[in-house]
Structure 1
Amino acid sequence: PAMPYLLSFAAGAMIYVVVEELIPEMSEGEHSNIGTICFAAGFVLMMALDVGLG
């Protein structure tokens, strides 16, 4: 019965790592808009597939 809670904790830890480490690093540099646009497009695609197939 603990598996859903452990998986939720793991997902929260991964979201924390992405927000704190990868997004600020992605927005640095000369081509900073490309990473931001690709991140947003991937998120939109993921949500569309989740809603469409779920």
Structure 2
Amino acid sequence: MGDEDDFAIYDWRPLKVRKGLPTVIEMTLVVGDEVRVLEYVLRHPDQWQPKRKKATTNNA
């Protein structure tokens, strides 16, 4: 088994692009003797705040 601290980024590519910037990337990592493919969602720190739900009214 390889050491989890030893890794190298082999390749990456954008999967989704919005306004010319990548929003989702796919990374191919080599960790020890294993090759791993991971997807990362890139977001601005302000986007991590929970969104408020719109109030709904049921008029019966």
TMscore range, shorter length: under 0.3
Instruction: Give the structure-1-normalised TM-score.
Output: 0.21
- Which protein shows a greater Rg? 2
More strand by percentage: 2
| Higher-RCO chain (CA-CA 8 Å, sequence separation at least 6) | 2
TM normalised by structure 2 equals: 0.20
